[in-house]
């Protein structure tokens, strides 16, 4: 009878040890998987940030949201920029970006729509005081060529 108890105790201890070992192995796998996921996420984030810094550009205009309407308002235009060359003026309201209305969107969403790959183009439709709507195609330029630090 004692022999059965001793064998039973060893079996129980063995099962506990195996269960602990399996739990530790699962934890190690999960930990290494999480570490791998973090590494992949960091690499993707770094790549996206690199691409944004080196391959996206703008038109060279500083925008604000019009307090009354929320529509993007050109606050200033960078000298020598594509925006200046296209004839954008301080006070113009941008009412469409590539045919999409700017009303009902946040300033950040509209700015993202205007930004894009360097040398690609964007079509802006502006409402100018005392004038009909003005539409122009602007070729985006790199931040560096616009003199804007990253």
**CATH code, domain carrying 121:** 2.30.42.10
Same domain flag for 5 and 70? no
Q: Which among 41, 56, 71 is the end of a domain?
A: 56
Considering only residues 35 and 13, tell me which one the structure prediction assigns the higher pLDDT.
Answer: 35
What's the pTM value of the predicted model, to 2 decimals? 0.62
Which distant-in-sequence residues (6+ apart) come within 8 Å of 60 by Cβ?
Answer: 77, 78, 80, 81, 82, 83, 84, 141, 146, 148
What is the pLDDT, as a whole number, of residue 78?
Answer: 87
For residue 14, pLDDT over 80 is answered with no
Res. 8 pLDDT band, cuts 50 70 90: very low
Residues contacting 104, CB < 8 A, separation 6+: 70
Q: What are 26-46's pLDDT values in tens digits? A: 666 666 566 655 655 555 555
- Domain limits at 71? 59-146
The label of the residue with tokens 């739990």 reads 23
Instruction: Say yes or no: 77 and 132 in one domain.
Output: yes
The residue among 130 and 48 whose pLDDT is bigger is 130
* 51 shares its domain with 64: no
Per-residue pLDDT, 113: 92
In a shared domain, residues 71 and 48: no
pLDDT tens readout for residues 59-108: 889 999 999 999 999 999 988 889 999 999 999 999 999 999 999 999 99
Rounded to whole angstroms, what are the CA distances from 113 to 34, 56, 125?
34, 12, 13
What is the pLDDT at residue 132? 82
Most confident of 11-15, 48-52, 104-108: 104-108
Examine the domain organization and report whether 13 and 84 are in the same domain.
no
pLDDT digit string, tens, across residues 114-148: 988 888 999 999 999 877 899 999 998 876 666 65
Domain boundary among 56, 73, 94: 56
- Residue 58: the pLDDT is 85
Split into its structural domains, the chain has a count of: 2
């Amino acid at each position: 009878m004692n022999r059965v108890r001793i064998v039973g105790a060893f079996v129980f201890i063995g099962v506990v040890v195996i269960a602990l070992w399996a739990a530790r192995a699962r934890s190690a796998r999960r930990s290494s998987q999480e570490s791998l996921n973090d590494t992949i996420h960091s690499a993707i984030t770094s790549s996206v940030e690199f691409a944004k810094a080196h391959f996206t550009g703008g038109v060279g205009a500083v925008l604000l949201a019009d307090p009354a309407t929320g529509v993007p308002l050109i606050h200033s235009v960078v000298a020598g920029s594509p925006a200046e060359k296209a004839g954008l003026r301080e006070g113009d309201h941008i009412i469409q970006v590539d045919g999409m209305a700017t009303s009902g969107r946040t300033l950040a969403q509209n700015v993202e729509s205007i930004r894009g790959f360097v040398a690609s183009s964007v079509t802006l439709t502006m409402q100018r005081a005392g004038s009909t709507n003005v539409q122009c195609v602007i070729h985006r330029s790199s931040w560096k060529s616009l003199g804007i630090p990253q």
